[in-house]
Structure 1
Amino acid sequence: MTPGQTLNGRHALVTGAGSGIGAAIARALVKAGARVTLAGRRREPLEKLALELGMTETFIAGGFDVTDPAAIASGLAAARALFGPVDILINNAGDAPSAPFEKTSLDLWSHILNVDLTGVFNVTQAVLPDLKAHGHGARIINVASTAGLTGYAYVSAYCAAKHGVIGLTRALALELARKGVTVNAVCPGFTDTPIIERSIAEIVAKTGRSPEEAMAEFVKSNPQGRLVKPEEVADSVLWLASPGAQSINGQAIVVAGGEVMAG
């Protein structure tokens, strides 16, 4: 085992792995020795990442729609055939469109809840038999958000979904504690990802403000005056997946420069 490869021989599934936080998590897991199933709806970014990380260390589960149980089952079956049962699950897939509450349609509300919360339910339920069979050392790590711990204007559906993810994390942590499976969440603040890029573009288009002025709206909430880096979130996930984190269970780890201080 190469020094630092604490996850050698483990099989991790990362949803939403094609870019941003998901891609950073996949890189960290492969570096730590894990074999990683890269799951996502679009195959092209997954293929690009797999070429970067190594085709023997990764498996591409394209068309992996977390809202579609049949797609999840198909992707899992193919991943298991190559790497065996999943023993580390990273629920990262999500969407974060914004709208004032009074302009949030039922379709938009349902879409965000379906992807960001029910998607976590769907994938976790599908992978759970693998995790319980593995027992001690198995991990569920949900990528939530500071929006799961506090409120933000104009993203009411996203806040509701991420609060739900935190609640699900805590409930499952108690339910699975004696099975040797830990369940935790990481809660990034505003992070330098394509979602932020799209949000800035929307602000510029709707308000006429400059990109710099739009960016200032995001960084002002972080006491460090910056966006979080995806690699910083990945480092927290890697720690939670490591053998040394066995007693960390049911926690919401905030990665936000001090913006939210969970008690």
Structure 2
Amino acid sequence: MIDVNLSGVWKTVKAGVPHLISQGQGGSIILTSSVGGLKAYPHTGHYIAAKHGVVGLMRTFAVELGQHFIRVNSVHPTNVNTPMFMNEGTMKLFRPDLKDPGPDDLKVAAQFMHVLPIGWVEPVDISNAVPFLASDESRYITGLPVTVDAGSMFK
């Protein structure tokens, strides 16, 4: 978990930064974390630690690279309708009271995590946040964790 979700981010950014700096035109780096990088959930300590680490990297890179006009931000999704969330293990984690929980059972349980009455967001909802952060319209936004979370940070 740490290797991919934290060390992989570190290695990727460190490999790409010299190219951005050498271009002399600034740029934007957008890291993917999770709402789990901003709060904690039970039974997921390894994941939570890695995603909190991504937030630390984002903030550190924002400070280090700002002098080159390289902005660094992160995107923090809630539950997303992908196999990482829509699987038997997650369904049992959310509904341990049921023998064979399904997607409808998961949706009901997951809705309690959000202010908006949904169980999860779609992948496109996450990708819609990225072009803005990559664009010149966000040229002075750096070091910001952007949540796409249906209000889960308020719960």
Q: TM-score, normalised by structure 2?
A: 0.88
The question of whether the paired residues in 2 share the 8 Å contact of 1:142 and 1:169 is answered with: yes
1:213 counterpart residue number = 105
Higher relative CO (Cα under 8 Å, sequence separation at least 6) belongs to 2
2:123 to 222, 227, 230: 230
1:146 counterpart residue number = 35
Deviations 1:14-39 (A, max 9, x none): xxxxxxxxxxxxxxxxxxxxxxxxxx
User: Which amino acid in the other structure matches residue 29 of structure 2?
Assistant: I
Q: TM-score, normalised by structure 1?
A: 0.53
| Structure 2: stretches of 5+ with no match in the other structure | none
Task: State the identity %.
Answer: 30
SS in 1 for 2:85: helix
Instruction: Say how many residue pairs are matched.
Output: 148
CA distance 1:179–1:160, shift in 2 (3 Å): same
Counting only pairs closer than 5 Å after superposition, residues 93-108 of structure 1 correspond to structure 2 as: none
CA distance 1:204–1:187, shift in 2 (3 Å): closer
Report the RMSD for the aligned CA atoms in angstroms: 1.6
| Structure 1: stretches of 5+ with no match in the other structure | 1-111
Counting only pairs closer than 5 Å after superposition, residues 1-263 of structure 1 correspond to structure 2 as: 112-198=1-87, 201-203=88-90, 207=96, 208-211=99-102, 212-226=104-118, 227-260=120-153
- Measure how far apart 1:205 and its partner are: 6.3
- For 1:158 and 1:219, the matched residues in 2 are separated by 21
User: Which amino acid in the other structure matches residue 210 of structure 1?
Assistant: P
- For 2:113 and 2:106, the matched residues in 1 are separated by 13
- Runs of 4 or more above 4 Å deviation: 203-207
User: Which amino acid in the other structure matches residue 188 of structure 1?
Assistant: P
The question of whether the paired residues in 1 share the 8 Å contact of 2:26 and 2:68 is answered with: no
Deviations 1:110-165 (A, max 9, x none): xx011100000111111111111223341110011100000011111110000000
